[in-house]
Structure 1
Amino acid sequence: PALPVIRRVGFGVAVADACLEVQEASDFTTQLPGGKGAVRETVEVLLRSRGWWKNLIEQYQGNGIA
């Protein structure tokens, strides 16, 4: 089920414990396995790649959230 979706989206992501075929079809493979922080890792990679990470962290720290 993952392969057709990965082929259609703009940025395919596979978790570290995905099968080899899914990893090869993906644009990015996480270092963490599914259920162990892979989504958080992916979100951080995307935010950093867009240059938004630092600003978001500063906002959270400024609001006493982090």
Structure 2
Amino acid sequence: MAKRSFLVVRKRRSFQFLVKRKLRDLKKIVPGSPVDMDIDTLLRTTAEYICYLELQVVVLRKISVICGM
């Protein structure tokens, strides 16, 4: 029984480590996100950045159609 609970704790720790590592990587990618930003704000900032990038793609596609490229 002790081995099983140890494995559950170990898997949970590895999952938590994976999530923390992914959040740290996300903070590096999203501009304007300080190191001490909480998760909610980070995810909201990430969503806004994605919308901004999608808008840039739309504008650049329209410009390319206008310019005939």
TM-score between the two structures when normalised by the length of structure 2: 0.33
Q: Which protein is richer in helix relative to its size?
A: 2
Q: Which protein is richer in strand relative to its size?
A: 1
Higher relative contact order (CA 8 A, sep 6+): 1
